Amino acid sequence: MEDKKIKIYISCHKPCAQVKNDIFTPVMQRDVVEFLRKGTDEDRFMAERANEYCELLTQYWAWKYEDADYYGFGHYRRYFEFNDSVKSNAYCMVKRDYLDGAAVRELGLSDESRIRAEAEKYDVITPVPFNYYVKSVYWQYKSSGTLHIEDLDTVLEIIREEFPQYLKAAKKYLFGHYMYACNMFVMKRELFLEYSEWLFSVLRKFYERRDMAALGYSNEAMRTPGHLGERLFGVFCAYLSERGGIRFGRRRTVQFENTEPEEEYYPAFGGKGTAVFMPVRAERVCLAAATLSSLAGAAEENYCDVIALCDGVKAEDKDKLRAVTAGKSNISLRFFDAARLLSGQGVASLKGDARTAYMQLSLADAFPHYDRALWLDDGCIVLADISPLYAADLGGALCGGVRDCARCGSVNGFSSRIRDYYPALGLTDPRAFVQAGVLAMDLAAMRAELPEELLCVPFFAGLRDARCDAVNRAWRDKIAYLPAEWNCVPEEEGSDGAAARAFAPKEIFLSAQAALRSPKLLHFCGSEQPWKDPASAHAPVFWAALRGTPFWEEALAANKKGKEKRGGNVVLRWISLKLFPYGSRRRSAVKRLFGKKK
C-alpha cells in the first residue's frame, strides 16, 4: 500500500533552522510573493497583501499549487510536537530555546513514521486550544489592544449573509471559551480544499467592506486578515463538529526562542592554524579581551583560529572583541553561542563554572570538524607563541595539561576536607591533578572514547569545584602532563593557594616555582587578581595585555570603583589579617563556619 503524501508547510520570512525530512517543507514568504505576482488576478491580489495575510499566504499557495493527501501548516518558530512524553507548561505549550538536532529528536519531529501514523489517524489535527474560562474568543479579540472588534463583527455579518450554514458554529465558537491559535493544523485533503475555499472567500469579502488603510490602521492592525484567519479556523472546526463524522486530534504547540541557522564550524586557514577555544562569560568579557590581545601579540606570523564560546555576551561586547584582533590577518575570530550546548532540559540549570566545564566536556561533539584544539580560559595571558603547545605529543592521551600545584598540595595534606573529598570521585593520587584552564585536546580521540553520561547533569552533582573537578574526573588516567611554564598560576604571598602549593609533592612544587620565574603563559585563576589589585606582582603583564583594547577604560573605572568600595573596610581587613593570616588553620576554620553559601 502506497504511503499517503503528508506535507507540513513551515512559513519562513528569513533564513532559519529547519527540520529536514520529506514531511516538513520550509516555504520562504518572499519566494511565494514572487511566484504569485506572475499568476492570476487573485494570485496578484494575495501577493500585494502578503504582509496582511501573514502565514495564510503559504496556505493560499499550497491550496492553489500543491498536491498532497494531508496538508499541514506551521511557522518557523512554531511546530507541533509528536512525542507524548515531552512536558509542557500550564498553557499546554512546549518551549525550547533552540531548533536544533537535539530538539528535533526529542520532540519527535524526525520520526516520519510516527508523524505519518498520527496524521492518518485523524481527519483534522488542531493545536490544544487556549481556555479563556469565564471569557470568550470574542472577548479576547476585543481586548487585544491592537485589533478592532468591528472587523470581527464584519466577518460575522459576512457569514450571516453569505454563508448562513456556518452562523450557528460561528456564534458557538466565538462566544465560547476555547480558542485555536497560530493558524496551525494538519488536515485531510478534501476538508482542506473545502476550508480554504470558504476561508479565502470570507476574507476577500472582508476587503470589500473594510478599507484598513483608509481607517488609519497601525502596522499590527494591518495584519488583521491573518488574525481573522485564526478565528475562522476555529469556526470551521466547530462547523465540522456539528456536521459529525469527523475525527479530531490534538497536538501541543512547540515554540522555539531561537531559530537562527545552526552554523557549521570548519577550521580556518585551511586547517593550518592553531585552533583555540576560549569561554567568554558576560561578566568576564574584559578578561577574555586581555587573553585575546596577548594571544594575538604572541602569535607573531603564525595563524590562530580562535572560537569564542559566548555565554550571555552582548552584541556590543562581541564587536569590542573583534576590534582586539582587527587588522591581524593571521588571526581568525568567530563566535559560538554556548547556550546551544546548554539548552537541553536540565543542562540549562547548570551555573557558573559548571557551565564552562560542560562546554569543555562537550567540545568534541559540538565541533565535529576539529580533531585538535587548545582550550584557554579567560584570564590567561599568553607570553609565547602557543603553536608548540598545540602540537605537543600527548602520547595517546585524550588531553594534556599542567599539574595543578595548589590542588595537588591540598590533597597531599594541606586540607583534610579536600583530602577526604577526592577519593569519592575516584581521584586519590596527589600527583594526578591538572589545572583545567589550559588544555591541549585530542578531539578526534575524545569523540571515539568518551561516554555520553559525562554530558549529563548528574555527572556534575556534588562537585566542589566543577571547573577543574569535572575534567580530572572525566579524563583521569587519560591525561598527559605538560611543562609547567604553559600554565603558571600566580598566588598572593600568604594566601591559601600559596600555602597549599607548599604541600605539593616536591617535584611538582619545584617545577611550578621554576616556571613562574620564566613563564610562557600566566593564568590568573588564583588569589592574585590584577584587575582588582594593580599593585600585585604580575599586574603589569595583565594591564599591558589589556591596554589598547576597547575594555581598557572600562577596567580602570571598575578597578577604581572597587578600591573605593573596599577602602571603607580597611581597618577591619587589617585586623582580620592579623587574627586570621592567609594559610592559617584559624582562617580555614572561620571560612568553614562563616563562608558564603553557594
Give the tens place of pLDDT for each residue, 497-509: 999 999 999 999 9
State how far the Cα of 50 lies from the Cα of 40, in Å rounded to an integer. 15
Q: For residue 598, what pLDDT band results from cuts at 50, 70 and 90?
A: very low
Report CA Rg, the chain.
31
State how far the Cα of 46 lies from the Cα of 37, in Å rounded to an integer. 9
Residue 57, C-beta contacts closer than 8 angstroms, at least 6 positions apart: 11, 29, 32, 33, 36, 46, 47, 50
State residue 571's pLDDT score.
44
Instruction: Tell me the pairing of strands 124-127 and 248-251.
Output: parallel
- Between 266 and 463, residue with greater pLDDT: 266
State how far the Cα of 22 lies from the Cα of 186, in Å rounded to an integer. 15
Asked if residue 553 has pLDDT above 90, the reply is no
Q: What is the pLDDT of residues 14-48, one digit of tens each?
A: 999 999 899 999 999 999 999 999 999 999 999 99
Instruction: Tell me the pairing of strands 253-258 and 248-251.
Output: unpaired
Burial of residue 204 (number of CB atoms within 10 Å: 0-12, 13-18, 19+)? middle
13 phi, psi to nearest 5 deg: -110, 0
Mean pLDDT for the chain overall: 90
Asked if residue 108 has pLDDT above 70, the reply is yes
Q: What is the mean pLDDT of residues 434-440?
A: 97
- Between 213 and 587, residue with greater pLDDT: 213
Asked if residue 575 has pLDDT above 60, the reply is no
Percentage of residues of the chain with pLDDT beyond 70: 91
Q: For residue 568, what pLDDT band results from cuts at 50, 70 and 90?
A: very low
Q: For residue 412, what pLDDT band results from cuts at 50, 70 and 90?
A: confident
Asked if residue 51 has pLDDT above 60, the reply is yes
State residue 583's pLDDT score.
52
Q: What is the 3-state secondary structure (H, E, C) of 327-349?
A: CCCCEEEEEEEHHHCCCCCCHHH
- Between 555 and 500, residue with greater pLDDT: 500
Instruction: Tell me the pairing of strands 24-28 and 6-12.
Output: parallel
Q: What is the pLDDT of residues 389-400, one digit of tens each?
A: 999 999 999 999
Residue type, 498: A
Q: For residue 560, what pLDDT band results from cuts at 50, 70 and 90?
A: low
Q: What is the mean pLDDT of residues 132-161?
A: 94
Domains of the chain: 6-258 (no CATH), 272-567 (3.90.550.10), 568-598 (no CATH)
> Closest by alpha carbon to 598, among 305, 313, 354?
354
Q: What is the mean pLDDT of residues 408-426?
A: 83
State how far the Cα of 7 lies from the Cα of 66, in Å rounded to an integer. 9
Q: What is the pLDDT of residues 477-490, one digit of tens each?
A: 899 999 999 999 99
Local structure of residue 450 (DSSP, 8 states): -
**DSSP string covering 162-215:** H-GGGHHHHHHHHTSSEE--TT-EEEEHHHHHHHHHHHHHHHHHHHHH--TTTT
Asked if residue 427 has pLDDT above 80, the reply is yes
Q: For residue 414, what pLDDT band results from cuts at 50, 70 and 90?
A: confident
Kind plus residue range of the DSSP H or E element containing 257:
strand 253-258
> Closest by alpha carbon to 8, among 89, 93, 81?
81
Asked if residue 543 has pLDDT above 50, the reply is yes
Q: What is the mean pLDDT of residues 67-77?
A: 97
Asked if residue 582 has pLDDT above 70, the reply is no
Q: What is the mean pLDDT of residues 238-256?
A: 97
State residue 576's pLDDT score.
55
- The reported pTM is 0.76
State residue 133's pLDDT score.
79
CB 410, CB 315: distance < 8 Å = no
- Between 315 and 572, residue with greater pLDDT: 315
Q: What is the pLDDT of residues 298-354, one digit of tens each?
A: 998 899 999 999 999 999 999 999 999 999 999 999 999 988 877 765 677 778 888
Laid out side by side, the sheet with 331-337 consists of 331-337, 304-311, 274-281, 372-376, 434-442, 399-403, 479-481
State residue 570's pLDDT score.
42
State residue 567's pLDDT score.
46
